[in-house]
Amino acid sequence: MRVQRSLTTTLISIICLFYIWAQFDHTLVDHLALFYGGVYSNGVFPGVSTGQWYRLFTVALTHANLLHLGSNMLALFTFGNLVERIFGRNKYLAIFLGSLLVASLASVYLGPHNIFKVGASGAIFGLLGALLAAGGRSGINSQAVVSNVVLNVVITFSIPGIDWRAHIGGFVGGFAIAYLVKPRR
């Protein structure tokens, strides 16, 4: 009997491997982090506005430090496995990547243009949105989901430097995608 590895575990492994790689290649984050880019007074800086659209997705592979990585991976493990179980692998991947895209677009176009943004938390907020959208249809405890959403929103607005635009964008993206797709039985 072959045991299938969860997509959540695979995502966590890939993100952690990129964090380790970044410890040895200090330019990696500069090439993968979310950055608007463009022409500034002291030169041209590459980013989404200069055609590096891949940054909308690769931002999830970058993290500021070990605490940032650890908290995001714990949340991804907790919520990701649940969303994957409720929706199945393909829909879960669509929710994760769709949430990441909406979070990145919200961050890059509504936030400051001259700051590098890092982390997978926009996609993770999308998973919370998906859980809320699935709600009673999937038999999960909606009160627990709402409590987690409230707690994470409080943390988002309490700690300076957290990109609330990405968190709200990811949540809205995850909710919308999950609302459109049906949980598996």
Q: What is the pLDDT of residues 1-22, one digit of tens each?
A: 555 689 999 999 999 999 999 9
In CATH, what number is assigned to the domain containing residue 77?
1.20.1540.10
Domain span at residue 36 reads 7-180
CA pair distance 149, 23, nearest whole angstrom:
32
Phi and psi angles of residue 39, each rounded to the nearest 5 degrees, phi first: -100, 125
CA pair distance 126, 58, nearest whole angstrom:
16
**How distant, in Å, are the alpha carbons of 13, 64, 134 from that of 107?**
25, 16, 25
Distance of CA 135 to the CA centre of its chain: 20
End-to-end CA distance of the chain: 23
What pLDDT is recorded for position 140?
Answer: 78
Domain assignment present for residue 115? The answer is: yes
Distance of CA 155 to the CA centre of its chain: 16
Domain assignment present for residue 21? The answer is: yes
Domain assignment present for residue 1? The answer is: no
Domain assignment present for residue 138? The answer is: yes
Domain assignment present for residue 2? The answer is: no
Domain assignment present for residue 112? The answer is: yes
Domain assignment present for residue 185? The answer is: no
Phi and psi angles of residue 44, each rounded to the nearest 5 degrees, phi first: -100, 130
**What confidence tens digit (pLDDT) does each residue in 138-177 have?**
777 778 888 888 998 898 899 888 999 999 999 999 999 9
Catalytic residues: 121, 167
Domain assignment present for residue 33? The answer is: yes
> In the chain, how many domains are there?
1
Residues near 48 by Cβ (< 8 Å), separated by ≥ 6?
34, 35, 36, 37, 55, 56, 108
